[in-house]
Amino acid sequence: MRAIAAVGATATFILMTEVWGCAARAEDAIKPGKWEFWTAAGQKIPPGTQLPPNMRWGPEGAITSVCVPEAKPPDVHKREDRTSIFGKGSCVEDATTDAATGTRRSSANCAWSSGVTTGFEAIIHFHGGTLDGTTTARSSFPDKPPTETSSVTKGRYVGPCDAK
């Protein structure tokens, strides 16, 4: 059962990185540049799990690197077909940024051909060179009760974005 929860948390974390992307102009809000963030869920990624190129495993757990642009991109609302470890599926993603408070809200909900559903909701607050927030992940597997876990999300500014 822990492996199922870890797989669900991993899938949700990967989805979260895909919905990510924001910037703001508030004084103590979202600083443009390269950020690293992690969710302190206390869970490990199952052996053999392939992490995306913008993720690595560190002392904090799975660490995701994201380049936050100079200008705030438009809010996200999209439906997208994908393939994952759960099969083919469809995901609906939403994300908004409140520049006045330096807050990013995002969510994703996916239904997979295997009968698995995954989703998350995250609220992130930026404070100069750090960020914190909460992430709630949900997953449902056939013939198993649904799971929901809430985790603390933390992060830090690491410098300018990598050259393309």
Per-residue pLDDT tens digits of the chain, which is 164 residues long: 444 444 444 444 444 444 444 333 344 568 888 999 887 655 666 777 777 788 887 777 778 888 887 766 568 899 999 888 888 999 999 999 887 788 889 999 999 999 999 999 999 999 999 999 999 999 999 999 999 999 899 999 999 988 87
- Asked whether residue 94 is assigned to any structural domain, the reply reads yes
Beta-bridged to residue 34, according to DSSP, are: 67, 159
Structural Rg of the chain based on CA atoms: 16
Which of 29, 36, 38 shows the shortest CA–CA distance to 127? 29
For the stretch 44-62, pLDDT in tens is: 667 777 777 888 877 777 7
pTM for the whole structure: 0.70
Inter-residue contact 5 to 11 (CB < 8 Å):
no
Instruction: For residue 75, give its domain range.
Output: 2-159
Beta-bridged to residue 125, according to DSSP, are: 103, 132
- Asked whether residue 135 is assigned to any structural domain, the reply reads yes
- Asked whether residue 124 is assigned to any structural domain, the reply reads yes
DSSP state for residue 70 in the 8-state scheme: S
- Asked whether residue 113 is assigned to any structural domain, the reply reads yes
| Tally of domains in the chain | 1
Residue 19 CB partners (closer than 8 Å, separation 6+): 76, 93, 94, 95, 106, 107, 108
- Asked whether residue 164 is assigned to any structural domain, the reply reads no
- Asked whether residue 43 is assigned to any structural domain, the reply reads yes
- Asked whether residue 36 is assigned to any structural domain, the reply reads yes
